[in-house]
Amino acid sequence: MIPLTPPATTTPELTSVLTCPFCQHAQAEQMPTEACQWFYECTSCGTVLKPLAGDCCVFCSYGTVPCPPIQIQGRGGCCSAN
């Protein structure tokens, strides 16, 4: 008999450094765990960032770490896939 093992649980990283594509300012931010963040205002130049085509949120487009749903479930695990 093959033993059943529970799926590995992954704890997502919750801090990502967002880099503004206009002024190159980088800022560490906490990511929401249960929602996508579609807008982010750069703390340096004031530009409002929006996700790039195909990305679910600003963290997936401009961050060093993708959002928690993507970290846990992969590309199909976020609201953009619905």
Tens of pLDDT along 1-43? 555 554 555 799 999 999 999 999 999 999 998 888 999 999 9
Domain boundary assignment for the chain: 15-81
pLDDT in tens, 53-68: 999 999 999 999 999 9
The pTM of this model reads: 0.81
CA distance 42 to 61: 14
Cα torsion 77, 13, 55, 43: sign: positive
- At 75, the pLDDT band (50, 70, 90 cuts) reads confident
Q: Which two tokens stand for residue 76?
A: 């199909």
**What sign does the dihedral 60-78-82-48 (CA atoms) show?**
negative
